[in-house]
């Protein structure tokens, strides 16, 4: 079953660095645009939560959390600038 994958751009399905290259770029660059106490939320693959949390930590975010989707899979990680 393909699900929503049929509608994703190819770059979203084949990003470099194990699919994390775009997330790394967004997390690092977002600090330049967020309000001083702003939050960044990132949707990611169910098997990427730990790696995404590490990216947030290495980029200086605080109060980092991951939440599960309706299927109880880790799906969204967020952190405060």
> Per-residue confidence of the chain (81 residues) as pLDDT tens digits?
455 666 666 666 666 667 799 999 999 999 999 999 999 999 999 999 999 999 999 999 999 999 999 999 999 999 999
pLDDT of residue 52: 98
Q: What is the DSSP string of 23-44?
A: HHHHHHHHTTTS-TT-EEEEE-
3-class secondary-structure state, position 78 = strand
Token digits for 75? 């799906």
Token digits for 8? 């994703």
CATH number of 3-80: 3.40.50.150
User: Hey, where are the domains in the chain?
Assistant: 3-80
Confirm if 55 and 24 have CB atoms less than 8 A apart: yes
pLDDT of residue 3: 56
Which strands make up the sheet holding 74-80, listed edge to edge? 39-43, 74-80, 62-68
pLDDT of residue 5: 60
What pTM was estimated for this model as a whole?
Answer: 0.80
């Amino acid at each position: 079953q393909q699900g929503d994958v049929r509608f994703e751009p190819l770059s979203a399905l084949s990003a470099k660095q194990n699919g994390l290259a775009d997330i790394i770029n967004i997390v690092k660059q977002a600090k330049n645009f967020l309000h001083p106490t702003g939050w960044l939320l990132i949707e990611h693959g169910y098997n990427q939560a730990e790696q995404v949390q590490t990216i947030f930590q290495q980029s200086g975010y605080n109060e980092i959390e991951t939440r599960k989707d309706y299927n109880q899979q880790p799906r969204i990680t967020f952190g405060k600038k």
